[in-house]
């Protein structure tokens, strides 16, 4: 067909859609422009004019178009413009210079979005509930939700309740009983509070500028965090940001630093691994290199014994819910509180185990939420000494023949040396239960009893929050030793044997693991192929243009303050593709790269989540950081430490798409095995963005347009909803339902595998000496030492009691033989710590998600186990042992000051017997920062307890953080701040 | 007899996830339901409150949580305090405070013996959890508390009073402050977890000079020479007797194991649950 005729048809279609859809007609009035379509040789063309909402077009070449869309030849134009459109054809044209756009990038993007809008104008979303109420769906870090909306306002948020149309639930038959999960999703507190977060009084509704910041004059950097902000227009804000990007880039590659929290609002598009990465790859930037902060001990330690590098050193979990319920005779929860941070899908499964009478033991200095709910034996070691307890278990097993000798012989190496160490043959100290009692304060008899029961019964070891790693004792100065001990205990009992495995019923539900829907770590629209799992599936499934960051400069996240203030920072890589990736060093500044000139802060604040975070506060006042822009939804503790603030909207005010707890390959593969039903949700735009806030995608697009990158960023005028459809089309959901139905209903329940086709049980293949049969593509094929699928990802292919890889580095706290070593946070070794007799635990909080939801306008503020309001201010709760409190004259809800040489933080006391004496537990759940005096050098009333934790890495050659078990003191807060930071910290 | 609403709350199932508390805030902050309620203020109200209880002392301690809300009493003290017919008892048992008629009647807040009515300073009205009557009237099958509770601690039922009485007996349900005669329609299961005491201990034995846990030892609880209960120790030598009355005086314990010998001890039970620590058997 002739080029000009196709375009003529397009113009007719524009007019028709405008006639049928008033909103589209209104859109046509937004811009006046002339768009030229033509062939490269000017042999054919048609221009289209938009003027006051009227569309007209003429054949030929216009003299002064606002922009031109130029096709290389007629065949290419025909293929590109003739429906049905093939995404691959369109991308091919864009990538290979078959199509060019010249002229105004902003108008071209607007025009292309308008063309796409012709299709979108017919789309309908949401379920009519009567009385003007429409029920939309969305996704949160606490689970998928229904959002009831009336008159443009969210009325309520509820969990998703399934109907008979949705796929049936699975059933597990165990010991004569049948167990089926409830027909609904559960929600974590940080999901259920979302309406209050949307309408929080702390929402940033307009672009802002610090009053004493003048980009062309005095910047008053030292006043960050102190000065007020004034409202400015989007144009003014974007102009400053773009000017600063251009100024910075003149210094060389990497001069723009981008930072983000570890998490973002739920959804595949708005996530930092998606829209954010796509944008920054087009600009070029230095990125923060994240340490595996919730997996430290597993990544830097456990991994060396058995590989599992792509799981950050944690074990597989397939089939463990069924195996545990059918076979296990004891469950040991070790530093394991699954009911703390990821909702309650696994809770019912643990209740089934209790119903079946499986005994439970909880090892944790705090009687945690899971332990308090389930009951069972509570063992409370002194924080950081768990490895001694574990070694004493080994001692009893060895001396009483209670371990799996056949497994040790066939599947492991190095046991004889381990045994000699445990028996004290090498160091003269047998690791008896009595020996451990001096370290842990746990009665020797209890350790002996536990060892005997564990050795005789088929036992599941729930290690860490998820039972298969994560959090807890793995995040502390002793975290490497502890995680290594967990693998050793597993090996001595023959993990993979029926009823013997890792897990606490939180992971390993019998779902369909081959049904494809991407998780957010699979990169979505990012085009990023190196630092996400995009290349594995998503890039083929959803063709899109590749993007790449040309800067090679990375800064270790936990060393950012040093990089800025001292100009230098280094660390070891988080590289999950192999075991040895973590031995590689990197540093700032990278050769040939520029020093940081500006920081683009995006997402949640770091003062509450990073260790020794008074450093972060002081970093912002450093003259080495000439410009800071903060793109944020809420005014949080870190937000005012900026020069310009850009208001982002919540996920309820924009389109997105995602699956319940599916973060994707390359992060936590098959993490959705934590939930009872796979639920994919179209995250409806439920309401319009509040105030002048915009979606992250639209903010990035607006900046991109000012740099001539808008068409490239939006890949030819894709809106977020267009991307949602592209994700849908790329997934297996499209094989089960239509886009139209999915968009309206908003969710899809993925059918579980039939009982006879369920995934094999984790590690059974290894126990039985077969090739790996669990459905994860790990390790990489090259990492098998024998045939593909044979053995573990270690030098020997076996479980190594003394890992060969650890003998290749000199790291004193990671010797090949996992000796018991005391924590470096130790008054005997550090005399300066002698004034601080108490140990501080800083676990993840149960109510906010990390710090998301700790907003002053959020309903979580009224939860007295999270915050307590005193004189109009809300203070983070610190749990203190009753005896310790009484010794200091402290009562419930009293304000207390927790301090050491690094920081001083005021909290509200919660007296409890759920903690062993000498231990304080305060969650890292603060998004607030309220310094009494000079920011970074005074007491914080906001509850950033991470200020008390050391900056020192977990071991000398492991760039992990070690936030637990810091030594502190507390006293009743008098209101007078005489604390001064000491450099000795 | 008409069917009326009741709510059963199982204290053993509540783990303080706070979803009921948050759902009630989600439902009422910023939402006006004419005839039922004015919006809840943004901060400070706990229409469904969760009271924290600990029993025992480290290292033998339990944590329990009691959701407390409007009890929808059949003999409601708030109704007696209300003027102008501001509070009505519906035919289905639900107590509703009229958001118009109750304006300025702060005495209603003080009248509730459960502290379940809150004063809305801005609107000058007393407010409480009204059983999600606005949703039930729209045809919702259950309250939001049940919809969001992951551990199924709540169970609402619309039954005749006689049937409810039967269930209450069968499941040993109790009311808060029954002595007031307010006749609550909220019934608690496993109330002993907060109203009564346990006594626990660990039985130990010396074997070849080493202290071990005495598993499967028999423990007999006696008072005034009468046997009250028997228990066997678990793998850690631990035993526990529950449902003992506070301040119930002197008790005796006799401990024995065929292989390891015997021991006896006594204790006095006051307000608090007790952990007796290790008790050594000797032959």
pLDDT of residue A724: 97
User: Which residues of A belong to the active site?
Assistant: 263, 293, 520
Centroid of chain to Cα B73: 17
pLDDT of residue A314: 97
Q: Which residues of chain A neighbour B118 with C-beta distances below 8 Å?
A: none
Percent share of chain A, pLDDT over 90: 93
Tens-digit pLDDT profile for residues A384-397:
999 999 999 999 99
Per-residue pLDDT for A666 more than 80? no
Per-residue pLDDT for A262 more than 90? no
Q: pLDDT confidence of A985, banded at 50, 70, 90? A: low
Interface contact flag, A859 B46, Cβ < 8 Å: no
Per-residue pLDDT for A162 more than 70? yes
| Min distance A339 CA to chain B CA atoms (Å) | 9
By a Cβ cutoff of 8 Å, what residues of chain B touch chain A? 15-19, 21-23, 25-27, 29-31, 42-46, 52, 54, 56-59, 61-63, 144, 147-148, 150-151, 204, 210-213, 215, 234-238, 278
C-alpha distance across the termini of chain A, in Å: 75
b/e sequence B14-35, b meaning 16+ C-beta within 10 Å: bbbbbbbbbbbbbbbbbbebee
The whole-chain average pLDDT of chain A stands at 96
Tokens 């227009």 correspond to A233
Interface contact flag, B22 A195, Cβ < 8 Å: no
Query: Chain A: residue nearest B143 by CA?
Result: A158
CB neighbourhood size of A940 (10 A): 33
Which of B22, B52, B215 is nearest residue A189 as measured by Cβ atoms? B22
ipTM: 0.97
Mean pLDDT of A24-28: 96
Tens-digit pLDDT profile for residues B106-150:
999 999 999 999 999 999 999 999 999 999 999 999 999 999 999
The reply to whether A444 touches chain B by the CB within 8 Å rule is yes
Q: Which residues of chain A neighbour B58 with C-beta distances below 8 Å?
A: 380, 881-882, 913-917
Percent share of chain A, pLDDT over 70: 100
Task: Compute the distance between CA of residue A648 and CA of residue A701 in angstroms, rounded to an integer.
Answer: 13
pLDDT of residue A494: 98
pLDDT of residue B280: 97
What DSSP character marks residue A948? G
The reply to whether A869 touches chain B by the CB within 8 Å rule is yes
Interface contact flag, B58 A864, Cβ < 8 Å: no
* Strand residue runs (E) in A473-553: 501-502
Interface contact flag, A450 B236, Cβ < 8 Å: yes
Domains, chain A, ordered by start: 3-120 (3.30.1050.10), 318-507+767-777+779-808 (3.40.228.10), 831-972 (2.40.40.20)
| Min distance A84 CA to chain B CA atoms (Å) | 44
CATH superfamily of B197-281: Immunoglobulins (2.60.40.10)
Please indicate, yes or no, whether the overall pTM of this predicted structure exceeds 0.90. Answer: yes
Tens-digit pLDDT profile for residues A557-579:
999 999 999 999 999 999 999 99
Q: pLDDT confidence of A7, banded at 50, 70, 90? A: confident
Centroid of chain to Cα A595: 28
CB B228 within 8 A of CB B186: no
Q: Which residues of chain B neighbour A920 with C-beta distances below 8 Å?
A: none
Give the CATH architecture of domain B4-194: 2-Layer Sandwich (3.30)
The shares of helix, strand and coil residues in chain A, as percent rounded to the nearest 5, are: 30, 20, 50
pLDDT of residue A81: 86
Task: Compute the distance between CA of residue A803 and CA of residue A582 in angstroms, rounded to an integer.
Answer: 15
* Strand residue runs (E) in chain B: 4-10, 49-57, 60-68, 87-89, 95-97, 118-120, 125-127, 154-159, 186-189, 197-207, 210-213, 218-223, 226-232, 238-244, 249-257, 261-269, 274-281
The whole-chain average pLDDT of chain B stands at 97
Listed residue (A546, A503, A627) closest to A242, CA to CA: A627
Which of A377, A444, A452 is nearest residue B238 as measured by Cβ atoms? A377
Centroid of chain to Cα A295: 12
Query: Chain A: residue nearest B151 by CA?
Result: A348
The reply to whether A392 touches chain B by the CB within 8 Å rule is no
Tens-digit pLDDT profile for residues A849-904:
999 999 999 999 999 999 999 999 999 999 999 999 999 999 999 999 999 999 99
Percent share of chain B, pLDDT over 90: 98
Per-residue pLDDT for A583 more than 80? yes
Task: Compute the distance between CA of residue B191 and CA of residue A726 in angstroms, rounded to an integer.
Answer: 54
Mean pLDDT of A134-147: 98
DSSP secondary structure string, A691-722? TT-B-HHHHHHHHHHHTT-HHHHTTTT--HHH
CB neighbourhood size of A73 (10 A): 14
pLDDT of residue A478: 94
pLDDT of residue A984: 57
A113-117, A202-206, A916-920: which range is least confident on average? A113-117
Interface contact flag, B19 A857, Cβ < 8 Å: no
Domain chopping of chain B, boundaries: 4-194, 197-281
């Amino acid at each position: 067909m002739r080029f000009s005729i196709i375009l003529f048809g397009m113009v007719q279609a524009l007019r028709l859609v405008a006639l049928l859809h008033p909103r589209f007609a209104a859109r046509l009035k937004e811009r006046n422009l002339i768009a030229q379509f033509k062939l490269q040789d000017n042999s054919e063309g048609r221009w289209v004019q938009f003027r006051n909402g009227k569309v007209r077009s003429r054949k030929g070449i216009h003299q002064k178009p606002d922009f031109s869309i130029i096709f290389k030849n007629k065949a290419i134009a025909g293929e590109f413009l003739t429906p049905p459109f093939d995404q691959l054809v369109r991308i091919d044209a864009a990538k290979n210079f078959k199509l060019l756009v010249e002229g105004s990038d902003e108008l071209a993007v607007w025009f292309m979005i308008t063309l796409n809008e012709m299709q979108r104008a017919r789309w309908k979303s949401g379920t009519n509930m009567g009385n003007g109420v429409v029920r939309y769906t969305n996704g949160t870090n606490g689970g998928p939700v229904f959002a009831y909306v009336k008159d443009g306002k969210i009325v309520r948020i509820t969990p998703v309740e399934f109907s008979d149309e949705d796929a049936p639930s699975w059933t597990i038959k165990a010991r004569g009983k049948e167990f089926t999960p409830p027909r609904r999703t559960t929600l974590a507190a940080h999901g259920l509070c979302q309406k209050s977060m949307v309408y929080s009084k702390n929402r940033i509704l307009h672009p802002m500028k610090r009053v004493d910041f003048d980009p062309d004059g005095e910047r008053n950097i030292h006043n960050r965090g102190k000065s007020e902000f004034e409202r400015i227009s989007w144009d003014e804000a974007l102009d400053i940001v773009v000017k600063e990007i251009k100024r910075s880039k003149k210094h060389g590659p990497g001069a723009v630093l981008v930072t983000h929290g570890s998490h973002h609002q739920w959804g595949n598009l708005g996530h930092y691994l998606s829209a954010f990465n796509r944008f920054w790859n087009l600009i070029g930037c230095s990125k923060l290199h994240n340490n595996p902060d919730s997996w430290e001990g597993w990544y830097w330690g456990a991994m060396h014994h058995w590989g599992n590098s792509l799981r950050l050193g944690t074990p597989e979990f397939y089939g463990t819910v069924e195996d545990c319920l059918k076979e296990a005779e004891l469950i040991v929860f070790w530093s394991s509180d699954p009911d703390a941070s990821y909702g309650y899908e696994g809770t019912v499964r643990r209740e089934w185990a209790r119903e079946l009478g499986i005994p439970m033991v909880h090892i944790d200095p705090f009687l945690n939420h899971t332990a308090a709910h389930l009951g069972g034996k509570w063992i409370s070691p002194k924080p950081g000494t768990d490895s001694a307890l574990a070694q004493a278990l080994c001692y009893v097993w060895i001396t009483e023949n209670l371990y799996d000798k056949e497994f040790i012989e066939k599947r492991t190496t190095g046991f004889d040396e381990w045994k000699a160490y445990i028996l004290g043959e090498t160091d003269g100290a047998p690791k008896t239960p009595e020996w451990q009692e001096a370290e842990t304060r746990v009665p020797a008899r209890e350790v002996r009893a536990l060892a005997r029961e564990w050795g005789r019964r088929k036992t599941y070891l729930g290690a860490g929050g998820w039972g298969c790693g994560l959090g807890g004792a793995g995040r502390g100065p002793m975290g490497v030793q502890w995680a290594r001990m967990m693998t050793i205990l597993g090996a001595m009992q023959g993990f993979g044997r029926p009823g013997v495995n890792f897990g606490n019923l939180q992971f390993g539900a019998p779902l369909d693991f081959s049904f494809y829907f991407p998780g957010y770590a699979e990169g979505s629209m990012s085009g990023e192929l190196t630092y996400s799992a995009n290349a594995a599936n998503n890039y083929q499934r959803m063709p899109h243009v590749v993007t790449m960051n040309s800067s090679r400069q990375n800064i270790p996240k936990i060393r950012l303050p040093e990089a800025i203030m001292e100009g230098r920072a280094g660390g070891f890589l988080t590289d999950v593709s192999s075991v040895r990736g973590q031995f590689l060093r990197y540093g700032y500044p990278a050769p040939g790269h520029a020093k940081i000139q500006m920081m683009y802060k995006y997402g949640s604040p770091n003062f509450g989540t990073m260790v020794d975070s008074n450093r972060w506060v002081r970093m912002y006042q450093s003259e080495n950081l000439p410009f800071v822009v903060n793109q944020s939804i809420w005014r949080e503790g870190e937000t005012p430490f900026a020069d310009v603030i850009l208001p982002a909207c919540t996920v309820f005010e924009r389109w997105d798409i995602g699956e319940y707890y599916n973060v994707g390959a390359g992060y936590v593969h098959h993490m959705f095995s934590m939930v009872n039903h796979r639920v994919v949700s179209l995250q409806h735009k439920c309401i319009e963005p509040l105030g002048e806030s915009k979606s992250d995608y639209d903010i990035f697009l607006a900046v991109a347009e000012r740099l001539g990158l808008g068409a490239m960023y939006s890949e030819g005028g894709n809106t977020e909803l267009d991307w949602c459809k592209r994700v849908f089309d790329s997934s297996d959901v499209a094989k089960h339902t239509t886009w139209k139905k999915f968009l309206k209903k908003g969710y899809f329940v993925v059918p579980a595998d039939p009982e006879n086709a369920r995934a094999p049980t984790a590690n059974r293949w290894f126990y039985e000496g077969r090739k790996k049969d669990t459905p994860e593509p790990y390790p990489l094929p090259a990492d098998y030492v024998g045939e593909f699928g044979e053995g573990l990802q270690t030098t020997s292919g076996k479980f190594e009691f003394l890992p060969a890889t650890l003998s290749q580095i000199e790291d004193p706290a990671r010797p090949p033989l996992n000796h018991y070593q005391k924590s470096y946070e130790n008054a005997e070794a550090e005399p300066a710590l002698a004034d601080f007799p108490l140990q501080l635990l800083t676990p993840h909080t149960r109510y906010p998600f990390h710090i998301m939801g700790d907003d002053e306008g959020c309903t979580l503020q009224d939860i007295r186990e999270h915050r307590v309001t005193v004189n109009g201010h809300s203070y983070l709760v610190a749990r203190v042992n009753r005896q310790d409190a009484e010794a200091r004259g402290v009562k419930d809800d009293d304000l207390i000051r927790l301090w050491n040489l690094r920081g001083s933080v005021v909290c509200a006391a919660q007296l409890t017997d759920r903690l062993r004496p000498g231990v304080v537990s305060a969650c890292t759940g603060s998004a607030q920062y309220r310094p009494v005096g000079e920011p970074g050098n005074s007491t914080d009333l906001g509850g950033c307890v991470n200020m008390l934790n050391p900056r020192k890495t977990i071991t000398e050659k492991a760039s992990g953080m070690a936030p637990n078990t810091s030594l502190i003191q507390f006293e009743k807060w008098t209101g007078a701040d005489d604390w001064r930071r000491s450099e000795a910290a | 007899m008409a069917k009326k609403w009741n709510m059963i709350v199982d204290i053993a199932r509540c783990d303080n996830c706070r979803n009921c508390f948050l759902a009630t805030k989600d439902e009422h902050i910023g939402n006006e339901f004419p005839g039922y309620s004015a919006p809840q203020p943004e901060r400070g109200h706990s229409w469904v409150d969760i009271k924290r209880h600990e029993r025992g002392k480290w290292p033998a301690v339990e944590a329990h949580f009691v959701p407390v809300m409007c009890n929808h009493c059949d003999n409601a003290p708030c109704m007696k305090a209300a003027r102008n017919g501001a509070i009505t008892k519906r035919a289905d048992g639900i107590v509703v405070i009229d958001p118009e008629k109750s304006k300025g009647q702060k005495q209603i807040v003080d009248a509730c013996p459960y502290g379940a009515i809150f004063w809305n300073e801005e609107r000058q009205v007393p407010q409480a959890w009204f059983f999600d009557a606005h949703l039930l009237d729209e045809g919702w099958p259950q309250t939001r508390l049940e919809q969001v509770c992951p551990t199924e601690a709540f169970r609402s039922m619309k039954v005749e009073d006689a049937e409810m009485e039967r269930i209450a007996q069968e499941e040993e349900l109790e009311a808060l402050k029954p002595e007031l005669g307010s006749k609550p329609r909220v019934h608690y299961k496993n109330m002993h977890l907060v109203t009564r005491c346990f006594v626990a201990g660990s039985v130990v034995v010396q074997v070849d000079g080493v202290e071990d846990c005495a598993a499967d030892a028999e423990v007999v609880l006696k008072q005034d020479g009468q046997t009250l209960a028997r228990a066997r120790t678990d793998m850690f030598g631990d035993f526990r007797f529950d449902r003992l009355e506070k301040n119930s005086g002197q008790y005796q314990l006799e401990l024995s194991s065929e292989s390891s010998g015997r021991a006896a001890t006594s204790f006095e039970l006051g307000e608090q649950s007790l952990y007796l620590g290790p008790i050594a058997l000797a032959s």
